[in-house]
Amino acid sequence: MLSYRHGFHAGNHADVIKHVLLVQLTRYLGQKDKPFWFIDTHAGAGRYALDSAQASKLAEHREGIGRLWQRRDLPAAVEEYVELVRRFNPDGRLQIYPGSPALALETLRADDRLRLYELHSRDVLRLRENFAAHARQVIVEAADGFSALKALLPPPPRRALVLIDPAYEEKRDYERVVLALKDSLARFPGGTYLLWYPRLTRLEAHELPQRLKRLPAKSWLHVTLQVRKPAADGFGMHGSGLFVINPAWTLLATLQEVMPFLVQALGVDEGAGFSLESQEP
């Protein structure tokens, strides 16, 4: 079992690669005048104090955003992401890490909208608190994000970025993400979908990318970041992957520049590396 409640892992290597892509995708969608929605099926608390009991227990941010915080040689896409995190830490000390909803809100325009879903009772309360000042633009619901997609898609503006990053605590989560994407593509084939998954030794994680490639999507991009070699006992996450359906056409070139840097910056041992593949229409 993988326990991946957002607060325990805020700012780690998985957040870095996920949020670099998220920022690139929201910026790309924002280039057109027409508004769009950002939908987060597993939003967590939205932002995290890195000295909290959860985040400080493992202090995974030190091996993630912490390794980028003081660097001045960041590729443009990484620099853009780090600058957004710095907005939440105006005194220059890394104390707050913005989750996906907070980063998305920073990049969205006044007419764009956020739809955030979270089932954990404490996290959804904090999520509501964190976005209470943005009630006109943000709707938070204590609901299952997988089920919510069926009611939301297609969204009124017919433009959306859907982020799906469940905890994968149960084997059925691997099945649910495939079924959710298949159903979503039937309802809203033109949407952009960003799926995060953990790199683990378990069979379900290994098989997931091939299952995703068989979905009825005209274009996709698949990127993985491995920061260490798998543990001998098979325990723990050694990297993460992101599968993007209908990606921005600029994303592949951006990642070709970014990924070697992230391997160098975040890699722990000789097992560090990346993979990058795509399918065009």
* Binding-site residue set: 19, 42, 100, 118, 144-145, 165
Report whether 266 contacts 213 (CB < 8 A).
no
Tokens matching residue 209: 């990318």
Catalytic residue among 15, 40, 123, 165: 165
Report whether 116 contacts 141 (CB < 8 A).
yes
- DSSP single-letter state for residue 215: S
Q: How far apart are CA 82 and CA 84, in angstroms?
A: 5
CA angle, 104 then 137 then 98, to 5°:
30
Note if 183 is an active site residue: no
Per DSSP, helices labelled H in the chain are 13-29, 53-58, 76-87, 100-107, 121-130, 145-152, 172-187, 203-213, 251-266
Q: Which residues are annotated as a binding site for S-adenosyl-L-methionine?
A: 19, 42, 100, 118, 144-145, 165
Residue type, 249: W
Q: How far apart are CA 100 and CA 184, in angstroms?
A: 20
Give the residue numbers annotated as catalytic, written as ranges. 165
